[in-house]
Amino acid sequence: MNQKLPKYLAGSVLLALSLNVSAEEITVSAAASLKEAFGEIAAQYQQKYPDAKINLNTAASGVLLQQIAQGAPADVFASADEATMDKAAAQNLIQANTRKTFAHNSLVLITPKNSSLHITKPADLLNNAVRHVAVGKPESVPAGAYTKAALTQQNVWDALQSKVVYTQNVRQALDYVTRGEADAGFVYRTDAVLQQSRLNIAATVPTVKPVSYPLAVVAASTHKAEAQRFVQYVLSANGQNVLRKYGFSKP
């Protein structure tokens, strides 16, 4: 026998159901160089939308792409280059109409703070005194791909191969240099600024293509509306202000 709930109980049930439906947890897979900026953006976003929760997953862009391709949970993908996002699009892993370029960066050559080596340009790395140069794997780390293209254009890349120490992501290259385990390395300016007390920025390296950051909603996301809302927040004035704070420039 069905009985009607008292009005005050019915209202409580409806409120609980609505909260349950609207509270969505999304995973944002973002390039390693975005860790601090996206961490702050996620905190602001959750403050503005208390019903939302952001899980931030950071790694090399190529690694994130592989994770998504293999079915790992992800709702938003933010890459440190257009080429990796192009691969995601070619595999139908993103919603193409949600793709937006949201920031730019620059590539820099760094050395340890106490380095006695005279390094002001990539060609100086060919000096016999330079033994180890940290570079992200070009196949999976956009910073490494930008470095390879830039140094190939300068006719330095091939001659440098015996000294290159490949890293899993741009932050690992940063760590090798700040700890003095590499004589030099290539990272983004935003990474270098985070550790400026422990390193020298020896040079800004002109890149063949702009260091460009796109993001998009993942096609397999089960929370597409929430994912799109986060994308819009990154593109908003608030999101862009955070990116400027961490040294990223406007697209």
Radius of gyration of the chain (CA): 22
Tokens linked to 6: 């008292």
What's the number of CA atoms in the CB half-sphere (13 Å) around residue 18?
6
What sign does the dihedral 163-166-171-176 (CA atoms) show? Answer: negative
Residue 6: partners with Cβ closer than 8 Å, 6 or more residues away: none
What sign does the dihedral 163-168-170-171 (CA atoms) show? Answer: negative
What sign does the dihedral 200-203-208-210 (CA atoms) show? Answer: positive
Is 33 marked as binding a ligand? Answer: yes
Residues 196 and 21: their CA atoms lie apart, in Å, by 45
Is 18 marked as binding a ligand? Answer: no
Q: In 32-132, at which residue ranges do the beta strands (DSSP E only) sit?
A: 52-59, 76-78, 100-105, 107-112
Instruction: Find where tokens 């899993």 sit.
Output: 168
Residues 35 and 186: their CA atoms lie apart, in Å, by 18
Is 187 marked as binding a ligand? Answer: no
| Residues placed in the known binding site | 33, 61, 143, 170, 188
| Residues placed in the known binding site for molybdate | 33, 61, 143, 170, 188
